A and B are shown apart, each in its own frame.
Chain A
Amino acid sequence: MRNVAILSYAQTPYVRSEIRRNEVEMLMPTLAEAIEKSGLDRKEIGFTVSGSSDYIAGQAFSFVMAVDSLGAFPPIRESHVEMDGAWAMYEAWVKIQTGEIDSALCFSFSRSSMGTPAEVMTLQLDPYTLAPLGIDAISLAALQARALLDQGKVSERDLAQIAARSRRDAMSNPEAQLKGDFDVDAILAEPTLVSPLRRHDCPPISDGAAVIVIAAEEAAKKSGAQPVWIRGIDDRIEPQQPGFRDLTVSRSAQLASQGAGVADGAVDVAELHAPFTHQELILRQAIGLGDDVRINPSGGALAANALLVAGLARIGEASRAILRGDARRAVAHATQGPCLQHNLVCVLEGE
């Protein structure tokens, strides 16, 4: 295996609605910042890959338009996944392993606010039996939360505490969107949005972009950037039908955690892509994180949830925790699909 490092990470401030700039205009300064910090020249980066979805943009071929922000002339090697940007980075990591390239620019972007995200996510469901019911992302998450609560191992108070901690931590993250000091009892006094979930248990609608530059060891050393090493990475997927699996556990996150080698050392910080409060509890269990692990110091997806960006942002935020000196070894996780269907776990370490 080739050693691969994150050389740089940049993200936009996340906002409720980016109505002024289009995707290209939103991306350009963030791409420039990440490339600048990577120490690599734009032209020497061997591969470019993005994650986004036309369904979110409400525009056909929106990812092709995003290429305008890259300066792709002379032609570059470029790819796209209709997935979270974390999987764009995974594609680049695999391509580095093949020896075909030594460095890659990975990014994702979305203006989730152009549509109604909870309903847009309905279209990823089985189109014959499930999507026609019109079940939206919040309702599906609520079914999962109900199944978890009914087991009696966790309470609504546990969920409210996750919401309060995430939004409080987000106060020290300049790019986070939804932040503040919220009282757990006050949260619990609020009505449910989709029972048992309250508004606080759900992510905000966010627009934004994230960019990461990775490189193989030789290229990383030459770049002069302070590397954060990707020590392990794995992704696993479960059946698309939420009814085919036990929603209170995440077998795929567990397998991805094993594949990435999470248990091979102590974990200081974990950035978990849990858009809904209860999902943090499921993931914590599945990935095998003890009570001493600091979860989502960035505020996580509960503080900013640009669709298909928030997973890549977890990797970026975990790398930042290492660069800040808050962690020696960190875990980053990304998810997509209904109710944690598809999970990616990676382990990061500093020098």
Chain B
Amino acid sequence: MSDAAEPVKRLVTPVRIEYRYTPGIAATKFLKAIAQGKLVGQRCPVTGKVYIPPRGASPTHGVPTEEEVEVSDKGTVVTYTIVRVPSENIELELPYAAAQILLDGADIPFSALLQEVVVEDVRIGMRVQAVWRPKEEWGPTFENIEYFKPIDEPDVPFEQFKEHL
């Protein structure tokens, strides 16, 4: 190689692998239900706790969760954060709140974004409800729920959900 040759300073090696992913029995039931506008979790046969979205196992006991339980699309904000930096896959206007929402009837919180609220008003214990996209757009996806919005119900005291953070 000639001394005059430019040294290699950069190497671009694109990598792409495609997967055909299937979510499993429990998540398939959840996705089929959400395509019908229903939120369906599964109950641990030992503790009675309801997990949503379900992954097929009780994480505390390692046993299958088979009993399906429909939960409400209303819930309580158990924690939240204010997002002030843009994200590639979220087109909402900044700032917005991302929250963990304990749906009524569930025992673990569900992640969702909040809208129709000024971020300064978001608080732990606040009652919210899902805003669904038009029915004709529903599919087996979380995206059927556009966001959650506050509803006119009194805040829930921390004591009532402290076991569900």
Contact = CB atoms under 8 A, between A and B. Distances in A.
Interface of A: 19-25, 28, 31-32, 42, 55, 58-59, 65, 67-73, 113-116, 119-120, 123, 127-128, 131-132
A114 B20 contact: yes
Contact of B21 (A42, A55, A59): A59
B17 A25 contact: no
B62 A65 contact: no
B61 interface: yes
Contacts of B62: 28, 31-32, 42, 68-72
Contact of A24 (B13, B20, B21, B56): B56
A206 to B, nearest CB: 16
A58 B21 contact: yes
B61 to A, nearest CB: 4
Given A28-B63, A67-B59, A71-B62, A22 B13 contact: no
A65 B59 CA distance: 9
Interface in B23-81: 23-27, 55-64
Contact of B56 (A22, A32, A115): A22
A42 B60 CA distance: 12
B136 interface: no
A25 B19 contact: no
B11 interface: yes
B15 A131 contact: yes
Contacts of B59: 67-68, 71-73
A49 to B, nearest CB: 16
B60 A71 contact: yes
17 contacts: A20-B24, A22-B23, A22-B25, A24-B55, A25-B57, A32-B62, A58-B21, A68-B62, A71-B62, A71-B63, A72-B59, A72-B60, A114-B21, A115-B18, A116-B17, A120-B17, A127-B13
Given A25-B25, A73-B61, A115 B17 contact: yes
Contacts of B61: 71, 73
B22 interface: yes
A22 B22 contact: yes
- Does more than half of chain A's interface fall in helix, strand or loop, or is it mixed? helix
Contact of B24 (A25, A128, A131): A25
Contacts of A73: 59-61
Given A28-B64, A68-B59, A20 B13 contact: no
Interface in B119-144: none
Contacts of A55: 17
B13 A132 contact: yes
Given A115-B17, A132-B11, 13 more contacts: A20-B22, A21-B24, A21-B56, A25-B26, A28-B64, A68-B55, A68-B57, A71-B62, A73-B60, A113-B20, A119-B17, A127-B13, A128-B11
A58 B19 contact: yes
Contacts of A21: 24-25, 56
B57 A24 contact: yes
A128 B23 CA distance: 34
A68 B61 CA distance: 8
A22 B29 CA distance: 13
Nearest to B47: A73
A24 B56 CA distance: 7
Contacts of B19: 58, 114-115
B57 to A, nearest CB: 4
B30 to A, nearest CB: 12
B57 A69 contact: yes
A123 B56 contact: no
A19 B23 CA distance: 8
B15 A123 contact: yes
Given A69-B57, A71-B58, A72-B59, A58 B24 contact: no
